[in-house]
Structure 1
Amino acid sequence: MHRSLPAAALCAALLAAGGAAHANKYLDAMKEQLGSSGQADAGSASGGGAAALASGLGLSMPAMGNSTLGNAAGVIQYCVKNNYLSAASANSVKDRLLGMVTGQKPQQTGFANGAKGLLQGENGKSLNMKNLSSKLKEKACDYVLKNATSLL
């Protein structure tokens, strides 16, 4: 049985019974538990807490690598534009990624998709960030920034 279904049901029940504060406390506790139990996405070089949280809620974070540098740069731009990442900390990473992929058509396409909020992984998985809650978008943006930094 997949653990995310009971977790999602419990979170919905907490929202109905006690409001968002109770649900957020539960999500934070679940994030800590999943992060410490080693259930982070195997394709992640770092950012395990975000991947574990997303995985615990039924999401799978796409694996990032050299073939997805353009997409990562685009996602970082999306995250900065939508205030999920600080421009001061993220723009230098984005610019360095773009410097590594300038002129490569597949990377340019990846950047365009990323700038629209579509995270594409080397493993063929993708995640449309527009479909996520604000909290999960923030975690996904942190995941991308941490993993992109490790690829530089």
Structure 2
Amino acid sequence: MRFRFALVSLALIAASVPVLAQSDLLGKLKDQAGSSLGENLGFQMPAIGSSTIGSAAGVLQYCVKNNYLGGDAASVKDKLLAKITGQKQQEKNFESGAKGLLKGGDGKTLNVKMLSSKLKVKACDYVLKNASSLI
């Protein structure tokens, strides 16, 4: 009964929101869903931000090298690397990331190597999407 009420409430709210706002709302919901990619599987993706550029760049290298990502990923990685050159801690984080270990700014870590192939692709997509915003 509660589920139906919630579903009807959401439908009414969506109907009352202008079309442009609906697409913005949908985008925000997709972003939130991406940031909690693994929640249904018992884990949450580490937060990617300016303090984790090295780790994100390293994971992108790992993903490209292992064919989980193509296209823009190598370019994004190179641009991130240009931002961290000479920063010892970021370079160290890059080395860990290149081995598949994603360290987040929120203290969470994820070993991408330990995921199934399908989840590796999703995790790599998550890193690429979030790392692209740091360029």
TM-score category of the 2 structures, normalised to the smaller one: 0.7 to 0.9
**Which 4+ residue blocks in structure 1 deviate beyond 3 angstroms?**
48-53
Q: What aligned pairs does 1:124-139 form with structure 2 within 5 A after superposition?
A: 124-139=107-122
Cα distance in 2 between the residues matched to 1:51 and 1:57: 13
- Aligned residue for 1:55? 39
Q: 1:94 and 1:77 mapped to 2: Cα distance?
A: 7
Contact 1:120 / 1:127 at 8 angstroms: preserved in 2? Answer: yes
- How far residue 131 of structure 1 moved from its aligned partner, in angstroms, is 1.0
1:96 is matched with which residue: 75, 79, 87?
79
Matches of residues 1-12 of structure 1 in structure 2 within 5 Å?
A: none
Separation in 2 of the partners of 1:52 and 1:65? Answer: 15
In structure 2, the residue corresponding to 1:127 is in which secondary structure?
strand
Cα RMSD after superposing both structures: 2.0
Conserved? CA contact 1:78–1:114, under 8 Å: yes
1:120 corresponding residue in structure 2: 103
What is the Cα deviation at residue 50 of structure 1?
3.8
The CA deviation at 1:151 is 1.2
Segment of structure 1 superposing worse, 120-129 or 52-61: 52-61
Query: What is the CA-CA distance between 1:59 and the residue it aligns to?
Result: 1.4
Residue deviations 1:32-87 (CA, integer Å, cap 9, x gap):
xxx99x5x7xxxxx4x444334111111100011111011100000000111000x
RCO higher in 1 or 2 (8 Å CA, sep ≥ 6)?
Answer: 2
Question: Aligned match of 1:68 in 52, 57, 63?
Answer: 52
Please report the TM-score for the alignment, with normalisation by the length of structure 2.
Answer: 0.75
- TM-score normalized by structure 1? 0.67
Using a 3 Å threshold, how does the CA distance of structure 1 residues 61 and 107 change in structure 2: closer, same or farther? same
The question of whether the paired residues in 2 share the 8 Å contact of 1:50 and 1:140 is answered with no
Pick from 116, 129, 134 the counterpart of residue 146 of structure 1.
129
Mind listing any 5+ residue stretches in structure 1 that lack a counterpart?
1-34, 41-45
How many pairs align? 110
CA distance in 2, matches of 1:57, 1:115: 24
How far apart, in 2, do the equivalents of 1:121 and 1:53 lie? Answer: 14
Secondary structure of 1:67's match?
helix
Paired with 1:118 and 1:63, the residues of 2 have a C-alpha distance of 13
- Listed as ranges, the gaps of 5+ residues in structure 2 are 1-25
> Which of structures 1 and 2 has the bigger CA Rg?
2
